[in-house]
Structure 1
Amino acid sequence: MEKVMNIIKPKPDPKQQLRDWQRRLRQECRNIERQIRDIQREEKNVQKAIKDAAKRNDIGSAKALAKEIVSSRRTVNRLYENKAQLNSISMHLGESVAIARTVGHLSKSSEVMKLVNNLMKAPEMAATMQEFNKEMTKAGVIEEFVNDAVDTALDTEDMEEEIEEEVDKVLTAIAGETAAELPDAVVRKERIKLPAQKAGPSREEEAIAEGVDDEEELEEIRARLAKVRS
């Protein structure tokens, strides 16, 4: 008899399940807020690096860093959307408490299912929401569904053009008038990349060769941004 009692586990209390999910959702929201703060804090360092690159007429580094800022800001916008959807799930779960008191079990919610499905497609939330999906499906809050991959990719050319416009805006906002002088530097650098016909390097080539450390700094900044975005 004792063995049978150990095998047959009592069903979890619906209200307790709801409270547990809401607590975990609040924790996920706090994690998102922390990630946003980390990204925005790192952006200040990148802005300084862009100004430094603009002062030394290094358009390559300045544009690469501006592109990182554009990418980071898009990540922040996506994180805010994730947070809003998590809060919405929590709200819908809260509304289920009254129903659970009446019927004694959690009822299905199409809104919660839709929100969970959306968040499972977000890279930052996929693993967490898969776990929620399993638990909520088992509890009868949502139905099991097939998460078909839908190709919603924008036209590549239009997206690249949009990103370039954002990069130019970032450069103008951060580097100001200095950025307007950068294209000339690009032409000079691109010419130097061609096979040299002379025996030794020019003074201009030597000056750019001294900027090797700038490339290392750029990679280091990219690595830090990638870390806070992940």
Structure 2
Amino acid sequence: MQTIRSVFFKPDPAEQKRKCDALIRKNVRALDRDIQNMKITESKTRNYILQASKRAERNPAQAKQARQECRTFAKELVNVRRQAGRLHTSKAQLQSVQMQVNEAFSIRKIENSMKVSSGIMKDVNTLIKLPELSGTMNELSQELMKAGIIEEMVGDMLETNELLEEDEEAEAEVDAVLSEVLKGKLGPIDQQMPAIPAQEEEEAEVEDLEQMRGRLEALKS
């Protein structure tokens, strides 16, 4: 029945706007949840760095491994903050899309016509590539095409800002994170280490490495 109606009747602008608004709100809520999760993960990661540092102070035999743990978790903290920044940027883009969509529908009321917006097309095309939003953003793009706000996006028709994953973290950034979290306490660890029997040191490193891997998996899950 809906297919037959779509052949003879144009889509209701008010209904189209409601659908677009609902999809945008759904995406904003999803981003807010992800941003909150990033805050929790950041707090946990900071605590892991502090725990490793305290363990080094209490047990000199684990000082070397603890220093490695601190750097590993500092790199993870850098990644978490980058991802949080990407989510905040995406939310700003989505809110921009919402304002432009509302403006387009307002103009339609006055002029009885809908104009294609290249700005919305660019933002939507960027947001569709986010794993967090790809499903509902595809739905939104379909509704915006039906309303005539954007055209069908094909291949490389649009210039987009790719969100690239960085394979290597800058050591300077990791050092800055460690300095921020530990307030310079990590630096002297190697100098404070007494001589430890090789076998005892190796056993301690293996045990701590397993614990660190478990914590990293917990952060990523």
TM-score (norm 1): 0.75
SS in 2 for 1:124: coil
Aligned partners of 1:121 and 1:168: how far apart in 2?
A: 32
SS of 1:75's partner is: helix
- Specify the code of the residue in structure 2 equivalent to 1:176: K
Partner of 2:5: 8
Distance 1:48 1:133, change over 3 A: same
User: 1:124 & 1:184 partners in 2: Cα distance?
Assistant: 45
1:13-92 superposed matches below 5 A: 13-55=12-54, 56=56, 57=63, 58-92=66-100
Structure 2 CA distance, aligned partners of 1:174 and 1:92? 41
Distance (Å, rounded) in 1 between the aligned partners of 2:192 and 2:152:
57
Equivalent residue number for residue 99 of structure 1: 107
Amino acid at match of 2:16: Q
Aligned to 2:59: none
Q: How many residues align?
A: 206
Encode CA deviations 1:67-96: one digit per residue, 9 max, x unaligned.
Answer: 000000000000000000010000011112
**What's the CA shift for 1:213?**
4.1
Given residue 217 of structure 2, which amino acid in structure 1 is its aligned partner? A
| 1:206 equivalenced with 2:200 (yes/no) | yes
2:132 counterpart (115, 124, 135):
124
Shift of 1:116: 0.7
Pair 1:173-2:180 in alignment: yes
Give unmatched runs, 5+ long, in structure 1: 189-201
Q: Deviations over 1:162-210 (max 9, x none)?
A: 6211110111111223211245699x9xxxxxxxxxxxxx734324413
Distance 1:6 1:124 in 2: 31
In 1: Cα distance, 2:123 partner to 2:17 partner: 16
Identity of aligned residues (%): 33
CA contact (8 A) 1:14 1:106 kept: no
Query: CA offset at residue 150 of structure 1?
Result: 7.3
Q: Which residue of 1 aligns with 2:219?
A: 225
SS at match of 2:186: helix
Give 2:186's aligned amino acid. A
Distance 1:6 1:23 in 2: 22
Name structure 2 gaps, 5 residues minimum: 57-62
Shift of 1:111: 1.5
Structure 1 residue matching 2:185: 3-state secondary structure: helix
Structure-1 separation of matches of 2:47 and 2:161:
38
Q: What is the alpha-carbon distance in structure 2 between the residues aligned to residue 30 and residue 180 of structure 1?
A: 42
8 Å Cα contact 2:71/2:178 also seen in 1:
yes
Q: 2 CA distance for matches of 1:20 and 1:6?
A: 18
Root-mean-square deviation (CA, aligned residues, Å) is: 3.1
Compared CA separation, residues 63 and 136, structure 1 to 2 (3 A):
same
Conservation of the 8 A alpha-carbon contact between 1:109 and 1:141: yes
One-letter code of the match for 1:35?
Answer: D
Q: Which moved more, 1:62-71 or 1:118-127?
A: 118-127
User: Alpha-carbon deviation of 1:105?
Assistant: 5.3
Equivalent AA in structure 2 for residue 53 of structure 1: A
